[in-house]
Amino acid sequence: MLVCILYPTSPLFKVLLVCFLYPYFTIAFVIIFAVFILIDRQMNHGVLETKKLDNLTKSPVLHHVTSSVAGISVIRGFNKEKIFEDRFYSFLNKHLVADSLFNLATRWFMLRMEILSLLIITSTGIVILATKGSVSPSIAGLAMTNLFAFGTMIPFVMKVKSEYRARVNSIERIAEYHALELLEQEAPHYIEGTKPLASWPQSGSIRMDEVSFRYRPELPLVLRGISVEMKGGARVGIVGRTGAGKSSLISTLLRLVELDAGTIYIDELDISVLGLAALRSAIAVIPQDPVLFQGTIRYNLDPFDKHSDEEVWGALEAANLKEKVGTEGKQLSMLVEAEGENFSVGEKQLICLARALLRRNRILLLDEATASVDMKTDHLIQNTIKSAFKGCTILTIAHRLTTVIDYDKILVLDQGALVECGTPADLMAFNGIFAGMVKASGIYTAIKKFSRQPID
């Protein structure tokens, strides 16, 4: 820093030289320099805010272009090009307004810096004329030259500084994520001394003992005192209104968030003492929204290369996908685009089913897995589950009551509490919430053989 200040071409050195040659200039320079600092602080804030607005309005433009290109065939198929064009122009106009505002704010800032620089040069000339004869003309010329160079360089430097400060405001967003380090970390993936046997779970029995669950400490309970036992190999349907806690019940088995109270046992082993990798690798999940990775079919089914090609083909055959993959020239090397864009929703769900078949877990969780597929695909998935997962414990969040009407046990949730539990026949005879849902759905013929008494 000291070397920079004393370096002959340093702007500060030039100003100090003029102040030494013309002491009266120091008064004018201090006043102008204070105005410099004041304007810099005030207008930098405005430039920064306009750049933030520019960044905010740029995001919808990029997102709209990306989504439009991805769905261009659908847009053209429904002849909706004009709607998407108008929407794009609307987003683009808002962005251009914000971008113009940023450029104008920068230029407005630059103008004031140039005016202050002109005042510095003018005040220098006035001081030189007022003190004419006190120094030689050569010294006066040196002072004017130094201040002129200083006055023309400072506005440019201030503009670069202002734009740089505005353009790196994205770093502030990264600083906000620093607060994530304060969040409580989930349990370790591996805990020495608690790793279960490779054959665990053997039966797949599940027992919940007074389970209460909330997503954050300050939020209310979403599950309250649930106690239920599910035998190994049982097929259990979970039903209830929206917000009843169906998906939350599935989350407790995977320990996405730790329990607020209670205990869950799988094969009489408390899952809270296990590492997350040991627990989650023992449970297969078929989600409502299928998750696929960009790569090949084989990579999506067996990303860790733990199974042979014969086993992968067997899983595809059981999931009714062997014909589609077999007709492709690349076979198991058939490409899967990002998010499975080259597959239909039903085919993506069947790929997730094949992935679960390949893992051969004793516990299978279906989180409304057939909610987004047609009836034919739903029928294929249900038949495959009945045959391929025979003997496995299956927990299904029902989107259609027909998929769980022949299950071994039905859990009815309401506002986070278990209000009904039993076989479909028992619940129909009880004529409670489940019976009301079945009657409202109109599937009378499907439940006659399960009901102990005729339906009113």
CB-CB contact of 415 with 393 (8 Å): no
Averaged pLDDT, 21-39: 77
Q: How confident is the model at residue 359 (pLDDT cuts 50, 70, 90)?
A: confident
pLDDT(416) > 80: yes
pLDDT for 29 equals: 76
CB-CB contact of 228 with 205 (8 Å): no
Averaged pLDDT, 236-253: 88
CB-CB contact of 363 with 266 (8 Å): yes
What are 139's strand-pairing partners? Answer: none
210: helix, strand or coil:
strand
pLDDT tens digits for range 372-405:
666 777 777 778 888 888 889 999 888 778 778 8
Reading phi first (left if > 0) and then psi (alpha if -120 to 50, else beta), residue 360 is in left
Instruction: State how far the Cα of 272 lies from the Cα of 263, in Å rounded to an integer.
Output: 8
Neighbours of 184 (CB within 10 A): 8
pLDDT tens digits for range 91-143:
999 999 988 888 888 888 888 888 888 887 787 777 777 777 666 777 777 77
pLDDT(263) > 90: yes
pLDDT for 456 equals: 38
> Can you list the domains of the chain with their CATH numbers?
2-178 (1.20.1560.10), 206-422 (3.40.50.300)
248: helix, strand or coil:
helix
pLDDT tens digits for range 156-175:
777 777 777 777 777 776 66
